[in-house]
Amino acid sequence: MHKEYEVKILNIDPATIEQKLQSIGAVKEGDYLYRSCSFDYPDFPLNKNNSWVRLRDEGNKTMLAYKRRLGVTSNAGNDEGMEEIEVEVSDFEKTKQFLLKIGMIIKFEQEKKRTRFVKDDIEFDIDTWPRLQPYMEIEGKSDEAVYAAMALLGIDRTDALKCSMSQVYEMNGIKDMEYTKMTFDEFVKRSEN
């Protein structure tokens, strides 16, 4: 278990950010399409505790994670951070079936496009989610390292948010718990199933 040191910078222009990243010596690692499922138990007890289980196909590997928002005071993006326990699993579909067999349910299925740049121990991810403006995640080994990376890009520390993707959707008027699928091709409301 570890605490993630990560911030989001919302509503970016990807081309401008990519130029800035290249100018500071960040190296593009690749472009990815991630698909994921978020799981909970019936009646959503994990969600009530600001946590969830995520199964994510990252193209070159499949990761299973328990995630919990820390220091939650609102859904406005002012959390203290995120707790994460993550393990690599060998098969997306088999792991999905395993979780369903032990009584979990799929809260929702999602997709996102990610462009990753790396400089030293810092990951810069330009993320595009369905129906959202692109944003950047900056992750490092400490808050100080993340804020130093922001400074290299000329981004003010006050522009950093510590929040989940669900909070970003909510800031944009979309409550992810009302949907079972949020992909680039489909946005399916829970009542439509």
CATH number, position 17: 2.40.320.10
Q: In this predicted model, what pLDDT tens digit does every residue of 164-183 receive, in sequence order?
A: 888 899 999 999 889 999 99
As for how many domains the chain has, the answer is 1
> Are the CB atoms for 7 and 160 separated by under 8 Å?
yes
**Domain that residue 88 falls in:** 2-192
Instruction: Check if the beta carbon of residue 34 is closer than 8 Å to that of residue 114.
Output: yes
Task: State residue 2's pLDDT score.
Answer: 65
Q: Spell out the SS3 assignment of the chain.
A: CEEEEEEEECCCCHHHHHHHHHHCCCEEEEEEEEEEEEEECCCCHHHHCCEEEEEEECCCCEEEEEEEEECCCCCCCECCEEEEEEEEECCHHHHHHHHHHCCCEEEEEEEEEEEEEEECCEEEEEEECCCCCCEEEEEECCHHHHHHHHHHCCCCHHHCEECCHHHHHHHCCCCHHHEEEECCCCEEEHHHC
What confidence tens digit (pLDDT) does each residue in 61-107 have? Answer: 999 999 998 888 766 667 787 899 999 999 999 999 999 999 999 99
Prediction pTM value = 0.85
The per-residue pLDDT of the chain, averaged, comes to: 92
